[in-house]
Structures are given as C-alpha cells and as structure tokens.
C-alpha cells in the first residue's frame, strides 16, 4: 500500500459542541528521549501525520496556479481567523501559530517551527474553520504564503537553521514543501526528478510547483556546486519517478523529523492534538 493511504485524516470536532469542549493551552509533554514512545502512540501524532498525508493526496498532479475551491469559512479566515462562537479555542490554536515563526532569542528557524504551522492548520480543520474541501487551498494559498513570509525573514535576518544537518540534511529550513511539491509533480508529462537540478527547467516552472520553488530559493541562498551544498537533494534527482520521490520523502520526514527528540521535544500538546494514545474507537 502507498504511504499516502496509511493514515486517516484528522477527525473534526463537529460532533462535539464548541461550548462544551474543554480547550486548553498546549504544553510540552516530551521531556526525555524515552517520552518519544508516548508521542508516536499519541492521537496528536496520528492526527498530524494523517493531516500531512491528506494534503499530500489533495495536491497530487496539480499546479500552484490551478483553480481550486475555497470554502466561505476559509475566505473569511483572513478577516476573522476564528469565528466568535469558537472564541474559547483561540488561546489553544494561537499557540501553534506563535511557535511557527522561529525563535526570537536564537534567531533560528527549522522543521520544528514548520511543523507548528502545520499543526496550526490541522487545528483549524479540527474545529471546522477549514474544511476537507479546502485541502488544496490550505497548501497552495495558506501554506505557500507562509513559506513566502518565512523566506523573506530568512533573507532579511539571516536566520540560523535550527537543528540543521548541514550538507547531509534535505534542507536547512523546510521539509513539507518538498513532500507536497513532489506530489504535485507525480505523472507530470515531461518534468522528471532529474530536471530539478537543471537551472533552465527550474526557472521556467518554479511558479507552478513548490518543489522547484524550494530549489530556486536554495540556489539563491547558497553558492558553489549544487551537489556539494545540497547533497541529499542531488541524490534524490537520480530517483526515477516522482511517486518514488514522494514516498521516500514521507518516510524520511517521519524518520528525520517526527522521530527525532531534538525536534519533537518542543512540540506542544492540548485538547485538539492530545498526548493521549490513539483509541481504537476513533
């Protein structure tokens, strides 16, 4: 079975009346390496990875410039963020947004901050502000705009990569746009993985594909041969198909981000993304 079919999307709280749901300020729960077992068994992990894979399926084979449905709730999100009848959820959901823009003391940013923004979007889905129909817009409109803001901050403040593996990591700052970007390119009529190291191909197609936009940003920020400053990506360019790239990146994301204590120790858990184990009844 393909990776994308292994996790169900997070369930919305539509069955629970917002006035009776007990929202809470998310807090740290992963304090030692042995605590990682709690994380992998948690409802938060199941909902988070389910959300990532649902969006991965939603953008498969689609351009950033394609037409997509945006629900009325999502359109109003810019103005109201969270409707008044869900006001009690604001402190819980807002914490993930606050954690998504890097550390103001260390002036650093990495995949843990990126995960906080994905968790923010996941929470908006769980309280019904965003809908299943919005999955393409969540990636192309909201998350892509977040990427633009973070790239501007990275350029302006020269933010340090948080927990970077250097030349052996996929990227200093991001991971999710490579996953969703590779999904966009599955079954593309002519662009193959080998083309993303081709400057001409990147320049001509980056506005349509998140993966190529990431490659362009890397080449703007780094100097020297691509194979030297981005060795992991260089190796990925030899993979024969985008579907294999996509599946490999999902496995890599789980192993290198979601299963690494230095990343997950900062993740916060609340009522929407709880540390409690997955229950068989869900």
Confidence of residue 165 (pLDDT cuts 50, 70, 90): low
Answer yes or no: is 76 within a domain: yes
Answer yes or no: is 35 within a domain: yes
Q: Is the dihedral of CA 54, 56, 60, 62 positive or negative?
A: positive
Residue with tokens 């250097």: 166
The pLDDT of 136-146, averaged and rounded, is: 94
Confidence of residue 160 (pLDDT cuts 50, 70, 90): confident
Query: What is the pTM for the complete model shown?
Result: 0.88
Q: What is residue 3's predicted lDDT score, i.e. its pLDDT? A: 46
- Alpha-carbon span 190 to 75, nearest angstrom: 34
- Answer whether 201's CB lies under 8 Å from 154's CB: no
Confidence of residue 4 (pLDDT cuts 50, 70, 90): very low
Q: Which helix (H) or strand (E) holds 41?
A: helix 36-41
- For residue 176, give its domain range: 29-264
Q: Is the dihedral of CA 244, 162, 144, 83 positive or negative?
A: positive
Percent of the chain with pLDDT over 70: 84
Answer yes or no: is 188 within a domain: yes
Answer yes or no: is 280 within a domain: no
Q: Which helix (H) or strand (E) holds 108?
A: strand 108-109
Computed over every residue of the chain, the mean pLDDT equals 86
Q: What is residue 11's predicted lDDT score, i.e. its pLDDT? A: 62
The pLDDT of 177-206, averaged and rounded, is: 97
Q: Is the pLDDT of residue 159 over 50?
A: yes
Rounded to the nearest angstrom, the gap between the alpha carbon of residue 272 and the centroid of all alpha carbons in its chain is 17
- Alpha-carbon span 47 to 209, nearest angstrom: 26
Answer yes or no: is 49 within a domain: yes
Please tell me the total count of domains within the chain.
1
Lowest mean pLDDT among 49-63, 98-112, 215-229, 263-277: 98-112
Task: Enumerate long-range contacts of 36-41, CB under 8 Å, 24 or more apart.
Answer: 36/259, 36/261, 36/264, 38/275, 38/277, 39/264, 39/267, 39/275, 40/259, 41/277, 41/278
Q: What is the per-residue pLDDT across 211-253, written as a single tens digit (0 to 9) for each?
A: 999 999 999 988 899 999 889 999 999 999 999 999 999 999 9
The CATH number for 247's domain is: 1.20.120.1150
Using alpha carbons, list the distances in angstroms from residue 266 to 4, 141, 192, 213: 26, 27, 36, 28
Answer yes or no: is 211 within a domain: yes
Compute the radius of gyration of the chain from its Cα atoms: 18
Answer yes or no: is 168 within a domain: yes
Q: What is the per-residue pLDDT across 68-89, written as a single tens digit (0 to 9) for each?
A: 766 655 444 433 667 888 888 8
b/e 76-105 (16+ beta carbons within 10 angstroms → b): ebeeeebeeebebbeebbbbbbebbbbbee
Answer yes or no: is 17 within a domain: no
Q: What is residue 2's predicted lDDT score, i.e. its pLDDT? A: 42
Confidence of residue 5 (pLDDT cuts 50, 70, 90): very low
Q: What is residue 141's predicted lDDT score, i.e. its pLDDT? A: 93
Confidence of residue 164 (pLDDT cuts 50, 70, 90): low
């Amino acid at each position: 079975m393909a990776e994308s079919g292994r996790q169900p999307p997070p369930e919305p709280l539509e069955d629970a009346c917002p006035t009776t749901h007990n929202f809470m300020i998310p807090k740290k729960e992963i304090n030692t390496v042995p605590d990682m077992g709690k994380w992998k068994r948690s409802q938060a992990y199941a909902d988070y990875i389910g959300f990532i894979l649902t969006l991965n399926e939603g953008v498969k084979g689609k351009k950033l410039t394609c037409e997509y449905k945006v629900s009325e709730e999502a359109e109003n999100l810019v103005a109201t963020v969270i409707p008044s009848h869900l006001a009690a959820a604001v402190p819980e959901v807002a914490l993930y947004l606050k954690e998504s823009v890097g550390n103001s003391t260390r002036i650093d940013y990495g995949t843990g901050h990126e995960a906080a923004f994905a968790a923010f979007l996941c929470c908006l889905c769980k309280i019904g502000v965003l809908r299943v129909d919005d999955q393409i817009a969540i990636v192309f409109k909201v998350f892509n705009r977040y990427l633009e803001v973070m790239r501007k901050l990275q350029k302006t403040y020269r933010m340090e990569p948080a927990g970077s593996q250097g030349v052996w990591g996929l990227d200093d700052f991001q991971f999710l746009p490579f996953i969703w970007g590779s999904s966009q390119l599955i079954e593309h009529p002519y662009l193959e993985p080998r083309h993303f190291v081709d400057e001409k191909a990147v320049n001509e197609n980056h506005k349509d594909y998140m993966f190529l936009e990431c490659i362009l940003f890397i080449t703007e920020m780094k100097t020297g041969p691509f194979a030297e400053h981005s060795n992991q990506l260089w190796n990925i360019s030899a993979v024969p198909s985008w579907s294999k790239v996509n599946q490999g990146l999902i496995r890599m994301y789980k192993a290198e981000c979601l299963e690494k204590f230095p990343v997950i120790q900062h993740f916060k858990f609340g009522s929407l993304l709880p540390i409690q184990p997955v229950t068989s009844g869900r």
